[in-house]
Amino acid sequence: MEEFENIYDKIKEIIGDNPDRLSILEEKVDIDLQVEYFEYSRRIKEALDKETTLNESCKLLDPAISVEDKRNLLPRLASIEEVEAYRIIERFMKDPPKELKSWGILALLESKMLLESKFLNENKVFISTGLGGKGNKLRYFIALLGRGIQEFSDLQKKIIRTEFTMTLKKYDSTIEEINFHESFATLLAIMPMHVIIKKVFREAIDECNLYGEFLMLNFIITNVKVLSFEEIREFVAKQNKNSSLP
């Protein structure tokens, strides 16, 4: 959890007093796919033929061209500092094949950042997480753990919804989704980067526990992916096992 606490200070060191240099990937894109895309993009830049790539750009909108060929063409186009390249990717993303949607999102973002850096004459700082974000805020997945209960009651569910919504609102944060399963509650929340996450959620948990101490103080948080209830259960079991070891 501490990995999130100083994220704003670290980013501020890079961007200084110019928040316009910051660009956040808003869509949810699998982290492994992001790594694969940017590794591929880095490799193809070494021998990129700009003229040939622009001449082949029409293939991106040709239904006769294979998905694999389009997959290879997208990062090549995104590596060219030309508005023409950006526009062709933009047109492609109006109705992309399902299997290329996330790949295209990354290509469009890379192309946009390349052009902005060129025209503004300053490097953009790009932040991407598996869960994305909105504006200058990041999206987080949080799992709350019930204390001494088999399943949350309707009253406890109402308390969690109310207290977490009110507490996060104080910190310019928004809950997008709340789900319950047995003694686990999960949330998707959008939060500013400068917010100290541990402080906010401990405050909300304390408010809930005024009504019966039914939540553990510890919680799970990640911005990589949405965890299934089975993954949460396995994580908790592993933590309990480790804590019981001599």
pLDDT in tens, 30-51: 889 999 999 999 998 888 889 9
Q: What is residue 1's predicted lDDT score, i.e. its pLDDT?
A: 47
| Domain ranges (residues) in the chain | 30-127, 133-244
Tokens 């790949």, located at residue: 103
User: pLDDT (tens digit, 9 = 90+) per residue, 180-207?
Assistant: 999 999 999 999 888 888 899 999 999 9
The SS3 of residue 60 is: helix
Helical residues (DSSP H) of the chain, grouped into ranges: 2-5, 7-15, 31-44, 50-55, 67-78, 83-92, 101-120, 154-170, 197-209, 229-244
pLDDT at residue 12 tops 90: no
Average pLDDT taken over every residue of the chain: 86
CATH architecture of 133-244: 2-Layer Sandwich (3.30)
Q: How far apart are CA 1 and CA 204, in angstroms?
A: 16
**Which long-range contacts link 53-60 to residues 24+ away (Cβ below 8 Å)?**
53/77, 53/80, 53/85, 54/80, 54/82, 54/84, 54/85, 57/84, 57/85, 57/88, 58/88, 60/88, 60/89, 60/91, 60/92
Q: Tell me what percent of the residues of the chain surpass a pLDDT of 90.
A: 57
Chain centroid, CA 142 distance in Å: 13
CB 25 within 8 A of CB 129: yes
What DSSP line would sit under 157-180, residue for residue? Answer: HHHHHHHHHHHHHHTT-EEEEEEE
Q: How far apart are CA 10 and CA 30, in angstroms?
A: 24
Q: What is residue 246's predicted lDDT score, i.e. its pLDDT?
A: 46
Q: What is residue 242's predicted lDDT score, i.e. its pLDDT?
A: 61
CB atoms within 10 A of CB 145: 19
pLDDT at residue 236 tops 80: yes
> Which of 50-54, 56-60, 118-122, 166-170 shows the lowest per-residue confidence on average (mean pLDDT)?
118-122
User: pLDDT (tens digit, 9 = 90+) per residue, 122-165?
Assistant: 666 677 788 988 888 889 999 999 998 999 999 999 999 999 99
Tokens of 109: 């973002």
Helices 101-120/83-92 angle, 10° precision:
160
